[in-house]
Chain A
């Protein structure tokens, strides 16, 4: 500033100097790849051919998206998938009704409404007579991913919430129990799948051994179409309960003691207090945990890739694994990138929801 600062940097110069290392890596390894991904998705781009000859790609516009997501003679019907569409209508009605009755914040009502509308519209598409999907595996794969999310998210959320409510005391014993429940969270996905692959093994598995002692017949968890998805969900809940539990514990700390004391005067203790006092006060934490878990589990890859290899009969084939296979086994980078863009759009939507939900909290 004065006198001795002859060659001193100005504030802006210092700022750019400090920002430069991050901005360069950010532009090179995140921004550029992101746009390059969209660019690749507009090409017929074979991994091996382009590697040997950079001109071996052809621009095809949106054809990859059509080849992945669309088909010939696709029609839309109101009663194509009565269960899911019916569920969507129920959701729509609920969102309007609960909003009217003021049981739902505007944000939650809109979220529920949009999700329900999608549930009404999307499953309605189906190939008409003599029509077919160009890619028979894509939508079932998306469906499997949604089933996985639909099972893992409530599983994690509910068990984490119940555990957090039970463990919400500052004593040594409770601290030790919290540590135990959190421990599996730090393991890598390959350790988790290693453990559970053998846990579920019908010949060597611990679960099979216990079933046999109890006189039952062991289940072929990972190769039975009925149980494979359940097995992956169980391993996932075991793995990812910890963070949700900690978020709930933080949420519980914010509920003041006085509310519980007042409730106790009204004879609301234990389960009753949990239902009438804890749950309503945890609403925001629940939203946060659910959205975080949806984002996290929509990217499921390792569990399906290592435990079941997407099988049996594609019942555990999930979106990221399909992208990986399309790109690196079939070398169809264009199509794989189109699917990756689809994934980004879904995850981006939930990230925006998370951002808004996070803002509502403060």
Chain B
């Protein structure tokens, strides 16, 4: 039994290593000089070991080019979207889960139907609408459409439904208002669910591609995901393979770090959000 287990781990390490190879290769190429890469990408052990080694690609990345700016855009958009979604989802989720009001069922169903509308079915009218407002090439154009997706509301709604009623009732008997109960009693309890939702949103915002591609046409408003797409088609002539790979590493660092620190939440968030890509 014990021996079988070690064989299993050993046997699985091989596919796991192969799984890691593409990522490793990107990291390794980003640490090799561009002139070496122009000749060959497999200098040392198929290029998987960064020798000859240089950090020039990274210093070049931060001294000129737009990557740092794009990175900053991504941070602003992702954090803005995360805060926005947390705000509208916790409030609406609480109201739908815990408060009684006429039309509650109808509102819940209307919101549920919204889960079925894929982004791709709405991005054309969203484009014309934002063009009419003159909103393209701005941070709010990248943030607002995503705040309308009801997945967060349902996540919070399900969470609030699971909290025992007596906590709330005790506060009610003391004459505390509904808004205060929401703010001082329910929100502190909701921290784990909010954490999951925040990570789901941040990952989505950071990696979002189609809407930024349509909405942000000025390079100044590119997110890093979009910027990376714009330089990868002609990397050989302009930037050099090593530098493009360095951009890829920089673009991935926040989500990878987030994943490694909050692995449990990330896995939970991505499983919950799986249906919404």
Contact = CB atoms under 8 A, between A and B. Distances in A.
- Do chains A and B stick together as partners? yes
Nearest to A35: B125
B12 A166 contact: yes
A166 B232 CA distance: 37
A292 B101 CA distance: 34
Interface residues on A, range: 35 or more
Which secondary structure characterizes the binding site on chain A? helix
B42 A12 contact: no
A205 B241 CA distance: 12
B25 A195 contact: yes
Contact of A188 (B48, B207, B244): B207
Interface in A198-256: 198-199, 204-206, 209-210, 238, 242-243, 246-247, 250
Most buried by B among A183, A292, A323: A183
A235 B195 CA distance: 30
A11 interface: yes
A340 B117 CA distance: 11
Contacts of B87: 21
B120 A181 contact: no
Interface string A1-31: 1111100110110111111011101101111
B248 A343 contact: no
Nearest to A244: B274
A81 B96 CA distance: 50
B175 A344 contact: no
A304 interface: no
Given A19-B91, A22-B89, A11 B147 contact: no
Contacts of B238: none
A337 interface: yes
B122 A189 contact: no
Contacts of A171: 5
Given A18-B94, A299-B277, A191 B9 contact: no
Given A30-B148, A177-B12, A188 B251 contact: yes
A34 B9 contact: no
B209 A14 contact: no
Contacts of A37: 121-122, 124-125
A51 interface: yes
A21 B175 CA distance: 26
13 contacts: A2-B175, A14-B178, A33-B126, A40-B124, A177-B9, A184-B22, A191-B228, A194-B248, A243-B271, A247-B271, A327-B124, A327-B127, A348-B117
Given A19-B107, A340-B123, 6 more contacts: A29-B145, A30-B114, A188-B206, A191-B225, A198-B241, A351-B115
Interface of A: 1-5, 8-9, 11-12, 14-19, 21-23, 25-26, 28-34, 36-37, 39-40, 47, 50-51, 163, 166-167, 169, 171, 173-174, 177, 179-191, 193-199, 204-206, 209-210, 238, 242-243, 246-247, 250, 292, 295-296, 299, 301-302, 306, 320, 323-324, 327-328, 333, 336-337, 340-341, 343-344, 347-348, 351-352, 354
Interface of B: 5, 8-9, 12-13, 15-16, 19-23, 25-26, 29, 37, 41-42, 46-48, 87-89, 91-92, 94-96, 99-102, 104, 107, 111, 114-129, 131, 144-145, 147-150, 153, 172, 175, 177-179, 182, 203, 206-207, 209-210, 214, 225-226, 228-229, 232-233, 241, 244-245, 248, 251-252, 255-256, 258-260, 263, 266-267, 270-271, 274-275, 277
- Which 9 pairs from chain A and chain B are nearest by CB? A188-B207, A14-B178, A22-B92, A29-B148, A36-B125, A344-B121, A12-B101, A15-B99, A30-B148
